Structure formats: C-alpha cells, structure tokens
Amino acid sequence: MKVVKQKDVKLDGSFAEEIAKRSGENVFLCYQCRKCASGCPNRMFMDSTPTELMRYAQLGMVDEAMKKNTIWYCLSCQTCSTRCPQDIDIAHVIDTMRIIGQEKRIKADDNKLPLFNRLWMTMIKYMGRAYEAGLVAALNLFTGHPFKDMALGMKMIRKGKLKLFPSIKKPFATMKMFSRAKRLKK
Ligand code: SF4
Ligand code: SF4
C-alpha cells in the first residue's frame, strides 16, 4: 500500500471557491460535527454522508464528490441546512455540486441518476408537472430495459395508482420559468 506523506498532500481550494462563487456558501466553515448527516432522511441510501461531501469540497476532491450517488439522492429537503450550527446551506451546496458536475460532464458511478434527473427536469419544463408512467418508460428505454417493471406498471394503472396519460397544466408557465433562469444565468 502506498503511504501518502504529509508533504505530498496538496490542497486545492478551487472547488470550494467555485461553490462559494455560485452559492454564496463557505464550505470551510464546516467543522465536521455531523449534525447534517445524522438528520438526513435519505442517508441510508447514500454512498457518503453530507458531512463527507463538505470535506471533499474543502479538500478539492471534485471527482470523489461527483461520482457518489449522494448529490443525486439528496431530496433538497433542507433538514441539514436547518440543523447546521455554522449556518451553511448544505442543500444549496449540494445543488451547486450537481450543476458543476453536469457542466464538467463528470460521470457518476451510477449513470442512471443524472439521466433520471435530466428526464425529470425535461418533463417538468414541458408539462408543468410530473408524469410518472412516462418518466419510468423513458428511463427504461434509455437504459436499454424497455419492459422492466411493465407488469407492475400495468397493475398500478388498472388500480388507478398511476395515470396512463399525462395531465398537462400550464406548460408555458414552466417553460417561461426555465428560459428566465437561463437568461439570469447568462
Ligand atoms: S437536503 Fe439532502 S442532504 Fe440535506 S438532509 Fe435533505 S436529503 Fe439530506
Ligand atoms: S452540520 Fe454544518 S458544521 Fe456540522 S458537519 Fe454538517 S456542514 Fe459541517
């Protein structure tokens, strides 16, 4: 096993700077108390905790942060942000990491997660609301398993738990919202 000597460790603050520039949050304020991780309702499904993500950001470990499923499994529920004694909006930091990861085209270990996110956002943009049956069908198609869970889906449609067709509400309103966000970004 290769031993890493202290003098060989180089810290890269550019990731933290990028996060600060985009979100206004300073990840160096985190002192690893783990209050965010202990309150996270989705922690059990994540590869690493929100606390660990903050450490990756402090150390400039971009790939480690982006490849984990954590940034994709975050529900943006804000529990961590509310609990942080340092007032860091961790949910916003994670959201920012997702955007940076997409822009830099860093592939997550599980590629289905960014794909799910893209499909979901496209659906919201054009339909103004979620369309679960369409989302699952598109995800199955893009991942090469078109008939996955089909029997279960049909059963749910028959029982009225899933709608076969989407109900589109005010699509132009969300489309306008998306183009405004794009303009603001520029
Ligand atoms: S915002 Fe994300 S990381 Fe924070 S508690 Fe909620 S699910 Fe967990
Ligand atoms: S709650 Fe705040 S200070 Fe504590 S580990 Fe999480 S981010 Fe860091």
pLDDT at position 63? 87
pLDDT at position 146? 85
pLDDT at position 111? 77
* Token pair for 30: 């985190």
Task: Give the closest residue (by CA) to ligand 1 atom 6.
Answer: 77
Ligand 1, residues 75, 84, 92, 93: which to mutate, most atoms within 8 A of Cβ?
75
pLDDT at position 3? 55
Ligand 2 binding residues, C-beta < 6 A: 30-36, 51, 54, 83-86, 88, 90
pLDDT at position 115? 86
Ligand 1 binding residues, C-beta < 6 A: 39-42, 50, 74-80, 90-91, 94
pLDDT at position 97? 94
Ligand 2, residues 23, 27, 38, 51: which to mutate, most atoms within 8 A of Cβ?
51
Q: Is 180 helix (H, G, I), strand (E, B) or coil?
A: helix
The DSSP call for residue 4 is: P
Which positions ≥6 away from 161 have C-beta within 8 Å?
Answer: none
Atom number of ligand 2 nearest to Cα 37: 6
Q: Is 16 helix (H, G, I), strand (E, B) or coil?
A: helix
Q: What is the CA radius of gyration of the chain?
A: 19
pLDDT in tens, 23-59: 999 999 999 999 999 999 999 999 999 999 999 999 9
Distance from first CA to last CA of the chain, Å, rounded?
47
pLDDT at position 40? 96
pLDDT at position 10? 66
pLDDT at position 88? 97
Atom number of ligand 2 nearest to Cα 32: 5
The DSSP call for residue 48 is: S
Cα separation of 41 and 77, whole Å? Answer: 9
Cα separation of 131 and 161, whole Å? Answer: 12
Per-residue pLDDT of the chain (186 residues; tens, 9 = 90+): 455 466 655 677 899 999 999 999 999 999 999 999 999 999 999 999 999 999 999 999 988 898 889 999 999 999 999 999 999 999 999 999 998 988 888 877 777 888 888 898 888 888 888 888 888 888 899 888 888 888 898 899 898 888 888 877 777 888 888 889 888 877
Cα separation of 43 and 37, whole Å? Answer: 7
Atom number of ligand 2 nearest to Cα 54: 7
pLDDT at position 1? 47
Ligand 1, residues 35, 36, 42, 82: which to mutate, most atoms within 8 A of Cβ?
42
Cα separation of 173 and 176, whole Å? Answer: 5
Cα separation of 136 and 142, whole Å? Answer: 10
